[in-house]
Amino acid sequence: MPGDPPALDRAMRVLRTYARIYTSDLETTTAALTAATGAEMGIRFAMPNGLRLASVGRILVVAGDDMTLAPYRATQATVIVDDLDQFHTALVAAGAEIIRGPQAVPTGRNLTARLTPDVQIEYVEWNETQWQRINAAHPSQD
């Protein structure tokens, strides 16, 4: 039946969710968030397109100039998932528009999907190196 979710071999899992903040000044923004929340800076990396990213708690700070940030500003959250391919299948079956990806990124693989005209989310499956970087066990080892 149209609109029914696809049959999957196992339940998909959302492992983490990050709210997004866009800025032109990564250092000032992460310092302000660290001071306001008491959380330490977690991941930090640069993308080949000039974006610089860092997390403070469960907030992902995305920094760049206005032109570099423009294609990403519509994305409201980043969701870390256990199996990007399964999420991709489910999103397409649900009628989501795939905006970018699936593609390789410094932390693993990602895709960005528009679920409705007002809801756009980035889905990321972290690689083993990223799980080590944040000192956490890969979920397959749970």
Q: Is the pLDDT of residue 125 over 60?
A: yes
Residue 142: predicted pLDDT: 46
DSSP E strand boundaries for 1-142? 14-23, 41-46, 52-56, 59-63, 77-81, 97-105, 108-116, 119-126
Q: Is the pLDDT of residue 40 over 50?
A: yes
Residue 120: predicted pLDDT: 97
Residue 133: predicted pLDDT: 84
Q: Is the pLDDT of residue 6 over 60?
A: no
Q: Is the pLDDT of residue 72 over 90?
A: yes
Q: Is the pLDDT of residue 5 over 90?
A: no
Q: How far apart are CA 40 and CA 112, in angstroms?
A: 27
DSSP 49: T
Q: Rounded to whole angstroms, what are the CA distances from 91 to 6, 46, 103?
A: 9, 27, 16
With beta carbons less than 8 A apart as the criterion, state whether 63 and 25 touch: yes
Q: Is the pLDDT of residue 10 over 90?
A: no
| Spatial CA neighbour of 68 closest among 14, 111, 26 | 26
Q: How far apart are CA 78 and CA 63, in angstroms?
A: 15
DSSP 50: S
Which tens digits make up the pLDDT trace of 73-88? 999 999 999 999 999 9
Mean pLDDT of 12-16: 93
To the nearest whole percent, how much of the chain has pLDDT over 90? 76
